[in-house]
Amino acid sequence: MVKIAAALLVTLVLLSGCALPDGSGTKAMEVSSPTEQVAEKAQGVPSSTSAPKVVRTAQPTQQSADGDEVDEPAPAARVLQQGEQVTLVDGVVSLDASAFTPSSVHYYNTTLPGGKTVYFFVARDQNGSYRAAANACQVCFASRLGFRHEGDLVVCNTCGNRYPLVKVATEKGGCNPSPIAPNLEARNGKLVIAQAALEQIADLF
């Protein structure tokens, strides 16, 4: 009888989760109520369910002078540089040569007798030569965006092709700036371009 009673006592202790007299036994699992779970979340207690991750789209970056990555600005809109308006006098336009420094480019426009306005630029390359060309090419002229000046280059605003100033007006066709004069001479401080040379680029405008 004593053994049976002892066995029943052990069984009751195990079922109730209480410790045995000698400290052994299994502790019952503690289950918090829904109210307690809400309170734990309010106090910042981590939940078993993680929050959804926020995914950010990467922006184009470039390196600053000190090596740090910075957001790259959006490219500025390109437009045709119309330049300074000049007038034909006695069948020529005259430009002030003193306005040019090596590796410089100046933009101009003039209206031909038939009413067509043409746009062109004059470059002074790093060797000191003056070169005149249309602000357009045979490939991209319909976009009417022309060329921009970057250092010792001119760059097509439509297709991005780049041409050294020393080559301006020396090659025809393709995306080359259509030639007007490959070697203008400064006379009495003036660069002179004939009307006939300007009429050759009229179809591009």
pLDDT-derived band of residue 134, with 50, 70 and 90 as boundaries?
very high
Q: What is the pTM of this model?
A: 0.63
- Total of domains in the chain: 2
Q: What is the largest CA-CA distance in the chain?
A: 138
Residue 89 lies in a domain: yes
Q: What is the CATH number of the domain that holds 153?
A: 2.102.10.10
Please tell me whether residues 118 and 18 are part of one structural domain.
no
pLDDT of residue 57: 36
* pLDDT at res. 195: 97
Residue 74 lies in a domain: no
Average pLDDT over residues 4-14: 48
Q: Strand pairing partners for 106?
A: 122
CB neighbour class for 130 (10 Å; exposed up to 12, middle 13-18, buried from 19):
buried
| Average per-residue pLDDT for the chain | 77
Could you tell me if residue 90 is inside a domain?
A: yes
| pLDDT tens-place string over residues 30-69 | 444 444 554 444 454 444 444 444 333 343 344 434 444 4
Q: Is the pLDDT of residue 23 over 90?
A: no
- Examine the domain organization and report whether 99 and 161 are in the same domain: yes
Q: Is residue 176 part of a domain?
A: yes
Shared domain check, 192 and 94: yes
* H-only helix segments in the chain: 2-16, 34-42, 195-199
Together in a domain, 88 and 39: no
- φ, ψ for residue 202, nearest 5 deg: -60, -35
* Sign of the Cα pseudo-torsion (10, 16, 18, 19, in order): positive
Per-residue pLDDT at 27: 43
**Do 96 and 33 share a structural domain?**
no
Domain that holds residue 11: 1-43
Q: Are residues 185 and 93 in the same domain?
A: yes
Q: Indicate if 105 and 178 belong to the same structural domain.
A: yes
Please determine, for residue 19, whether its predicted confidence score (pLDDT) is greater than 80: no
Same domain (yes/no): 93, 28: no
Residues 104, 193 share a domain: yes
Of residues 148, 139, 135, the one with CA closest to residue 205: 135
